[in-house]
Amino acid sequence: MTRYLVGKLAESLLAIWGVVTIVFFVSRVLGDPAVLLLPIGAGQQDLDALRASLGLDRPILEQYLISVLAMVRGDFGISFQHQRPAMDVVLERMPVTATLAGTALLFGTLIGAVAGAIAALKRGTISEFIVMVAALLGQATPVFWLGIMLILLFSVDLGWFPTGGSGTIAHLVLPGLTLSVFVSASIARLLRSSLLDIMREDYVRTARAKGLLPRTVFFWHIARNALIPVITMIGIIAGELLGGSVVIETVFAWPGVGRIIMQAIQAQDFPVIQAGVALVAAIFIVVNLLVDLLYGVLDPRIRRR
Amino acid sequence: MKAFFLALLKSRSGLFGFLLVSVFVLAAILAPYLGLPVPTRSNLLARMVAPTWTGLFSPGAHPLGTDELGRDILSRIVHGSRITLAIAAAAVILGGIVGTLLGIVAGYYRGMVDRILMRIVDIQLALPLMLLALLVVAALGPSTRNLVIVLALTSWLRYARIIRGQVLALREREFILSAHAIGAGTWRIMLKHLLPNVMTPALVIATLELARIIIMDAALSFLGLGVQPPNPSWGRMLADGRVYISTAWWIVTFPGIAILLTVLSVNLLGDWLRDHFDPKLRTTR
């Protein structure tokens, strides 16, 4: 188990390094931020001076080595736009994004799990049909359009919730609902097919045959095994949501991580882009590591490997 | 082929998806001949006209209304589908070819090549796809060609992973061993013996990827990084119409329904293809 974990950890660090490297070189293609930062009418001398002070006049490989070494120490440089440490600029937005991601995950998983279980247990009934049609529609709906439609209905027509911004529970309802629909649709479909697969297994028949209560068979023999692919899916979704859903944050003017990275890309604020992407990748990797650990808890076979 | 359609007829949802996809593809191909108004021609006298169903076939009818410049929304949706579907199809083909070939190479050679390729997949998986797409479009600049490249880039690894797994199993089979025995070259084995055997899973992945790519294309256009105006694109129509949400609901509503129906039908077809050809793929998605 320890060897497995150390291996996973090494893989994770390698992945973060790879992501940072890609982002460094991609963001250098974006353009010269010094030109953007200078006031109109500044001369070549000012440009050279600014580039020298930002370290942009050095060879690209030297710049790369300097920033990687700094990143290891947790230093992502000073944001060109905000004149503050880039990591601080991104981290400040984290609570807002985490609130939205947490809400969507909580409600999405609950609704999805109940709906998926109903669909599998009530095979061939109208309940299954309704759940499956709803899940199919939920998966096919572009989230940003669903967000706009909810704004149209609940903000413009009914005036119940604000159209955008953050700060109160009322602000959280519409974006939370939008993302929950997407989350629950994926989970309901996956859980249903996973449950149906497990119910066909021999050991489930054996458990039934030896007279166990249907409830015991369901929770102890079926659900525990059927949850494994679902947990993988929840891990992937959690990682994506915690990285800030750029489109949803744009639709609802939600001031989260996704928006700050999007703004940094538009303003070519390299330090913030790098800090943001490194943070998002790190979160994604940590969440997936936790998922791997959970497998061990759920499935002793994996623990022994 | 006949057996394929017979099986399709038996599945209600599969048939529904297949028919709907056919209708959309036909409408996209025949768009210029359907007698629709020119999608880019604005008419300031007919700005934000609400949808009307009376006199549907008269020349000035706007069954789905007009936008803020008086352009016919139905025509923009149908013409937008040409660009959207062409981009999505090109991205699926590009990502599918690259991903399938790399998957075959990784699974066949194993060892170092395999390890490096799978590490690259892991690194890319650590980045949310949308963020990757944003970065690359911002770096390359928004254009139709770059959009195809970006969408293919978000797609290749799904083929690579699954196909690699299949090839790992296939390469131990007798027909590959016998191909070795008669002295077939590496490329011959990969292209003539392995490729045909992974075409079915590749096709199933491609259909499911098509749906994902259509949504992602719309999202990128919505953020202003997709097809550039005045060409109609679904995501862009949504972004532009959002400003007029309190006065003209139809501008933001119909392009979204177009995306929903297209994605839904492709998903239904893809689910059916998967269950029909390769039920084992279900949990790998």
pLDDT tens string B174-231: 888 888 888 888 888 888 888 888 888 888 888 888 988 998 888 888 888 877 777 7
* Nearest C-alpha neighbor of A230 from the set A300, A146, A173, A298: A298
Between positions 180 and 219 of B, the ones with CB within 8 A of A are 211, 215, 218-219
CA distances from B167 to A97, B190, B192, B281 (A): 41, 9, 13, 14
**Domain presence at residue B182:** yes
- Helix, strand, or coil here: B139? helix
**DSSP-H helix ranges across A30-85:** 33-37, 44-54, 60-72
pLDDT for res B285: 39
**Domain presence at residue B235:** yes
CA angle in degrees (0–180, nearest 5) for A179-A185-A187: 100
Dig out the tokens for A136 from the structure.
């199919």
pLDDT digits (tens, 9 = 90+) for B133-166: 888 887 777 788 888 998 998 899 888 988 888 8
Which amino acid does the sequence have at B27?
A
Q: Which residues of B touch A156 (CB under 8 A)?
A: 245-246, 249
Do B190 and B104 form a contact (C-beta atoms < 8 A)? yes
Q: Is the dihedral of CA A196, A200, A201, A205 positive or negative?
A: positive
**Domain presence at residue B165:** yes
Q: Do A243 and B131 touch (CB under 8 A)?
A: yes
Pick the CATH number of A94-256 from 3.60.10.10, 3.40.50.300, 1.10.1040.10, 1.10.3720.10: 1.10.3720.10
A44 vs B: CB within 8 A: no
**Domain presence at residue B36:** no
Do B227 and B233 form a contact (C-beta atoms < 8 A)? yes
Q: Please state, in angstroms and rounded to a whole number, the distance separating the CA atoms of residues A65 and A259.
A: 28
Q: Do A142 and B219 touch (CB under 8 A)?
A: yes
* Nearest C-alpha neighbor of A273 from the set A263, A261, A281: A261
What average pLDDT does range B14-31 have in this prediction? 85
pLDDT for res B98: 94
Q: Which of A30, A139, A193 lies closest to B139 in CB terms?
A: A30
**Domain presence at residue B141:** yes
Q: Which residues of B touch A265 (CB under 8 A)?
A: 134-135, 138
Whether cis (ω within 30° of 0) applies to the bond prior to B230 is yes
**Domain presence at residue B282:** no
* Nearest C-alpha neighbor of B78 from the set B32, B43, B19: B32
pLDDT digits (tens, 9 = 90+) for A224-250: 778 888 888 888 888 888 876 888 888
Instruction: Tell me the whole-structure pTM to 2 decimals.
Output: 0.83
Is the model's pLDDT at A302 over the cut of 70? Answer: no
A260 vs B: CB within 8 A: no
> Which of A57-61, A153-157, B211-215 holds the top average pLDDT?
B211-215
Give the residue numbers spanning the domain of B98: 10-30+71-277
Query: pLDDT-based confidence at A30, cuts 50/70/90?
Result: low
How many structural domains is chain B composed of? 1
- Helix, strand, or coil here: A85? strand
Query: Most A CBs within 10 Å: which of B77, B119, B129, B131, as the mutation test of the A interface?
Result: B131
CATH number of the domain that B258 lies in?
A: 1.10.3720.10
Distance from chain centroid for Cα A106? 14
Length of chain A: 305
**Domain presence at residue B39:** no
CA dihedral in degrees (A231, A233, A238, A240; nearest 10)? 160
Q: Tokens 């030896």 identify what position?
A: A210
pLDDT for res B140: 79
**Domain presence at residue B267:** yes
Q: Which of B246, B255, B267 lies closest to A136 in CB terms?
A: B267
Helices and strands in chain B: count of H runs, count of E runs:
12, 0
B134 vs A: CB within 8 A: yes
Query: Which ipTM score applies to this complex?
Result: 0.81
- Helix, strand, or coil here: A82? coil
Q: Do A273 and B135 touch (CB under 8 A)?
A: yes
